[in-house]
Amino acid sequence: PDLSDARVTIGVAMSPQGVKTSRFGPESFKTLNRPILAFSGTKDTELGHDGKEAPPEDRLEGFKLWPAGGKVLLWLENADHFSFADNPKSGLFPSAGREDAMRIVKEMTRLFLDWKLKGLEEAKTAFTAKHIDELLGKVVTRVTWNER
C-alpha cells in the first residue's frame, strides 16, 4: 500500500507495473512522491504472480495513476520487456530492440539524473522529446513522451 521510501530522492523505473496483474491495485501508486523517469514499450507485456499476462498498455494505465509532479514515462515503439535488460546474461533473452532501447535509456537517464540530482541546466535543456528523436534506431522508431 505504501511505495514511498524516505531514503529515495529520485527513481528510474524499467517496465513499471500496471494494475491488471496481481501485483498492484489502483491505490498502490498514490505514495510515489519523488521524481521518476520510467521506460516501457509497445511490446512490453506484463506477467503477474497469478500467471496472467497483461498487455503493454497496462503499464501506461498504471502510470496514469501516479501522482503528478516530476514523472516521465518514455514509451518506446517496438521495445519488449527484454529490450531493457543490459547485462551479460541478457543474450539468454533475445530482443531486437535492445540496442536502440539501451541507447535511449542510458542517455535519457544520464540527463534526468544530471538535471534532478546535480542541477545541471544543460541536462535539463537536453532532456527533451526532440533529443530522443536523435537517438532512434532501426527497431525503436518512435518514442512517446508521457508526463505527470
Backbone angle region of 38, left / alpha / beta, with phi > 0 → left and psi within -120 to 50 → alpha:
beta
Q: Mind listing the pLDDT tens digit of every residue in the chain (148 residues)?
A: 677 788 999 999 999 988 877 777 888 888 899 999 999 999 999 887 778 888 999 999 999 999 999 999 999 999 999 999 877 677 778 899 999 999 999 999 999 999 999 999 999 999 999 999 999 999 999 999 999 9
pLDDT computed for residue 9 by the predictor: 92
Alpha helices in 1-148 (DSSP H): 57-63, 98-116, 121-126, 129-133
The answer to whether 42 and 55 have CB atoms below 8 angstroms apart is no
Q: Which is it for the CA torsion 88, 93, 99, 101, positive or negative? A: negative
Looking at residue 146, its pLDDT comes to 98
Q: Which pLDDT belongs to residue 82?
A: 92
pLDDT of residue 88: 67
Q: Give CA angle at 58 (132, 117), nearest 5°.
A: 45
pLDDT of residue 89: 73
The verdict on pTM exceeding 0.85 is: yes
**Confidence (pLDDT) at 1:** 67
78 contacts 138 by C-beta, under 8 angstroms: no
